[in-house]
Chains A and B, each alone.
Chain A
């Protein structure tokens, strides 16, 4: 039946089956490849992958563990960028939603910024901010601000004016309407928007690191790919995927905690 429910046991079984098939398929493809060329590194065997993991978890000649220095560098760039972007996007969105004059004033630059592909604008960031931390932070934050600000201000426009008028009849000040009525209703939608912004932010960051980085995930992936050390590249990709997944899960958890009243429309 279309959209018919299935039992939980069945859904867990099917999920593990798909993971098993993936792993099995990889093993088979890798095995085939090594029969043709035993020294192949494009589709490493499980043993080669273990070597790769050892390579980036053990100290290298400079006594640095790649995984540690890459995580620190990429993580700092990412969280500073996301943090600044989230704050600016939220404040801009609130201002645009609450004040029509600011909406009119800010809409053109935001619409323009939203349409410029950040990866294409990399050159501009290099010229303006150099290749240090500030460049990454500026690029990520400017990349996500438009989407976040627009989400917030559309969410505010969506609020029925009855809810705001009623708050005034209950004795609220303008500030209280903004913080206690508008903010509370916008928050869950904003968290959703941040979840969606994580994907693009990682893309911008890795792309920039590939071009100008001297440390970080993007840098490492590009370098090891040039040496066809795919046994390092694949684990790095998997780690990036898990990182994105964990962040997404964390934000969903936060949303459930902070906005237990909220029910997504798609439910």
Chain B
């Protein structure tokens, strides 16, 4: 299910192109993400998923085009990392010198207090810190880590670390959260648990929308597992360098762009999807996104709704 509220953008990419010297990576990429969407980003290796993610994050702004996010209530250029975008990496996802609790509370501390306040107003900071820790503890409880709050990352399993990392990003409720193959290093069972956890947050979005509020969590998850993409996302976006650029008048590949953009089935957290039923979606994606021999017009499989 997608949001119909046209003004509720989490992210807008307008004509984004990027290249490294002679190597063209991204070409004229347009992507609008609505608040509350869970967007699965897929594509063959080397198609520029990471480049796009870094561009959105703002560490490596694109050479051409604009990436806009809501910053302090207005759309602004995302040309450096900021509080409006969250990130969950596959590695280095947590600060090793903080416990799970303090890792989650860290963003609240950075965002809502200043160094001068913490150094000069000890009483006020003590009060704030208790408040932040309580909120972080409640959040960790929600993701099922109530018992592990006081562990350091080195004492946690990979799955627990990623849970904490997701909590660390989500508690900030940024406009958009980027997950860069967050479960890539985990085993199948742990992966599924974490997918369920993400779907629980999707449920919260649904509740907020039903109440007419802005959904709190918007995310882009990059994954190479098609089933994961289908299960977690409510929208599938395929990025690929395999499209019919000759028809657009290029004599060599100008880079990857969005070649597939369709809604995905939505699941409840406790629902174990029957992946057999999605054979045609997977087949479709393999043809359009992954197959170098199948070149189609770039907008052939992009569902053109008025806002995307």
Task: List the interface of chain A (C-beta within 8 A of B).
Answer: 160-163, 165-173, 175-176, 179-181, 184-185, 259, 261-263
Complex Cα–Cα for A172 and B92 (A): 17
- Tell me whether A170 and B80 are in contact in the complex, defined as CB-CB below 8 angstroms, given that A185-B97, A261-B154 are known contacts: no
Interface string of B110-127 (1 = CB under 8 A from A): 111011000000000000
- Nearest B residue to A263 by beta-carbon distance? B154
| B96 contact set on A, CB distance < 8 A | 185, 261
B:82-115 near A, CB below 8 Å: 82-83, 85-87, 89, 91-93, 95-98, 106-107, 110-112, 114-115
B95 touching A181, Cβ below 8 Å: yes
Shortest CB–CB separation between residue A114 and chain B, in angstroms? 29
Could you tell me if B115 and A169 are in contact, using CB atoms closer than 8 angstroms?
no
Verify if B59 is at the interface (C-beta below 8 Å from A). Answer: yes
Chain B, residues 173-205, CB within 8 Å of chain A (1/0): the string is 010000000000000000000000000000000
B169 at interface (Cβ–Cβ under 8 A)?
Answer: yes
Question: For the complex, is B140 an interface residue (Cβ under 8 Å from A)?
Answer: no
Asked if B172 is at the interface (CB within 8 A of a chain A CB), the reply is yes
Contact of B97 with A259 in the complex, beta carbons under 8 Å: yes
Contacts of B174 in A (CB 8 A): 169
Task: Determine the distance from Cα of A259 to Cα of B96 in the docked complex, in whole angstroms.
Answer: 10
The complex places the Cα of A181 from the Cα of B106 at a distance, in Å, of: 10
B97–A170 touching, CB < 8 Å:
no
B residues near A263, Cβ cutoff 8 Å: 154
Closest residue of chain B to A161, judged by CB? Answer: B59
CB within 8 Å for A160 and B92 given contacts A169-B57, A176-B110, A259-B97: yes
B152 CB contacts on chain A under 8 angstroms: 261
A181 and B103 alpha carbons, distance in the complex (Å)? 11
Q: Which residues of A contact B86 (CB under 8 A)?
A: 169-170
Q: What's the nearest-Cβ distance from chain A to residue B87, in Å?
A: 5
> What CA separation (Å) do A166 and B57 show in the bound complex?
9
Most buried by B among A161, A166, A167, A172: A166
Q: Report chain A residues within 8 Å CB of B89.
A: 162, 166
Chain B residue contacts of A181, Cβ below 8 A: 95
Instruction: Report the minimum CB–CB distance from A146 to chain B (whole Å).
Output: 27
Task: Flag if A171 contacts B92 (CB, 8 Å).
Answer: no
Assess the B115–A170 pair: CB atoms within 8 A.
Answer: no
Which residue of chain B has the shortest Cβ distance to A172 in the bound complex? B110
- Asked if A163 and B83 make an inter-chain contact with CB atoms under 8 angstroms apart, the answer reads no
